[in-house]
Amino acid sequence: MAKCSFCNRRAIFYSRVNGKFFCEKHFLKYFDRKVRRTIRKYHMFGKNETIVVAVSGGKDSLSLLHYLSKLSKRAPGWIIKGLLIDEGIAGYREHLIGKFIKTCNELDVEYKIVSFKEEFGYSLDEIVKKGKQLGLPYLPCTYCGVFRRYLLNKESREMGGTVLATAHNLDDVIQTFLMNILNNNWDRVARIGPVSGVITHVRFVRRVKPFFDILEKETTTYSILHSLYPDKNVECPYAPLSFRWYIRKFLNDLEMRNPGIKYSLLNSLVEVLSLLREKYRESDLKTCKICGEPSSQEVCRACMLRRELGIL
Ligand code: SF4
Ligand code: ZN
């Protein structure tokens, strides 16, 4: 049985990058220090904030909700709220919603659940079907991502949020980075930093990623230690169709052979971000002439997709 590198207790986590073993107590200390350093480094929160946490019901977002709720006990000006978007994916999101409600109640956190069905009149499953019938070229994750981002901004603003915290971890961030490089989408790379750029649009809620420097296996460990790991490990049925699925596997294989390569890729992203942000300024956001939400074009992506689907 491996022992903790800092005390004599049983190790529950091993970091291949620094070669250290951690017991539960030292892992939680290490995790807390790392997240707080990220929050401080990127000036994520001020003294008085209503922080809306975007929760999918999965391990990462529940861990973020749990972590920030605990941290807020030391920050009297912070209010934490949970927001879950139910896309309407049969057999997938339902049991995660139960876990979300249970966690919010245990943490005494106010929450809101909004569904695609209520908001757009169609669930994601129905939208995907409609898109196929119309011969649209989009993958399910495209509809899902565009509509979810749209609702997260709109609903967090309506909940009084001054900042929207998402649980994107280091693995998510570098997957998105690599996907966008491979697609030559540098304007999108400019938007995947730990905090959204300087945005003056009155309807835009600032976004932050407190787990930006945290590996997925670290959020997994945190979630297990706090009984937040889902009882059933169900994957979204659309996930294997996505480009991200392959990139994720590729990066995990690469990390197995070269421990530390994920951090290296994250550092590459941080290096290029300041240059890209000069070139692709988010502060130039317009107002969608259909729905009035912030948009980089005359019409936002959500309205464009709804128009193509004939559901506007
Ligand atoms: Fe949505 Fe794709 Fe994630 Fe499924 S895998 S929840 S469709 S983004
Ligand atoms: Zn719009």
Per-residue pLDDT of 100-128, as tens digits, reads 999 999 999 999 999 999 999 999 999 99
CA–centroid distance, residue 143 to ligand 1 (Å) = 9
Window from 69-78, 233-242, 303-312 with minimum mean pLDDT: 233-242
Distance separating alpha carbons of residues 24 and 13, to the nearest angstrom: 8
Ligand nearest to C-alpha 125: 1
**163-165/49-55 β-pairing:** parallel
Q: What is the pLDDT of residue 199?
A: 65
Q: What is the pLDDT of residue 103?
A: 95
Sequence-separated (6 or more) residues with CB below 8 Å from residue 62: 55, 99, 100, 103, 223, 228
Ligand 1 atom closest to the Cα of residue 56 is 6
Residue 163's DSSP bridge partners are 51, 206
Using the predicted structure, report yes or no on whether residue 87 has a pLDDT greater than 80. Answer: yes
Q: What is the pLDDT of residue 129?
A: 97
Per-residue pLDDT of 198-208, as tens digits, reads 667 889 999 99
* pLDDT band at 283; cut points 50, 70, 90: low
Number of C-beta neighbours around residue 139 at 10 A: 14
Q: Does ligand 1 come within 6 angstroms of the Cβ of 38?
A: no
Q: Which residues surround ligand 2, an ion (CB under 5 A)?
A: 288, 290-291, 300, 303
Average pLDDT over residues 221-250: 90
Q: What is the pLDDT of residue 73?
A: 94
Q: What is the pLDDT of residue 197?
A: 67
CA–centroid distance, residue 307 to ligand 1 (Å) = 21
118 within 8 A of 84, measured Cβ to Cβ = no
Q: What is the pLDDT of residue 231?
A: 77
Q: Which sign, positive or negative, has the C-alpha torsion 186, 190, 191, 193?
A: positive
Average pLDDT over residues 147-162: 96
Ligand 1 atom closest to the Cα of residue 236 is 4
Ligand 1 atom closest to the Cα of residue 124 is 7
H runs (alpha helix) in 72-215: 93-107, 116-120, 124-133, 140-158, 170-182, 186-189
Q: What is the pLDDT of residue 114?
A: 97
Q: What is the pLDDT of residue 100?
A: 94
Domains of the chain by start residue, with CATH: 1-41 (no CATH), 43-282 (3.40.50.620)
Distance separating alpha carbons of residues 62 and 212, to the nearest angstrom: 15
Q: What is the pLDDT of residue 299?
A: 96
Most ligand 1 atoms within 8 A of CB, residue of 84, 92, 116, 141 to mutate: 141
CA–centroid distance, residue 292 to ligand 1 (Å) = 26
Average pLDDT across the chain, whole number = 93
Using the predicted structure, report yes or no on whether residue 223 has a pLDDT greater than 90. Answer: yes
Q: What is the pLDDT of residue 179?
A: 95
262 within 8 A of 174, measured Cβ to Cβ = yes
Using the predicted structure, report yes or no on whether residue 301 has a pLDDT greater than 90. Answer: yes
* pLDDT band at 29; cut points 50, 70, 90: very high
Per-residue pLDDT of 173-199, as tens digits, reads 999 999 999 999 998 898 899 998 666
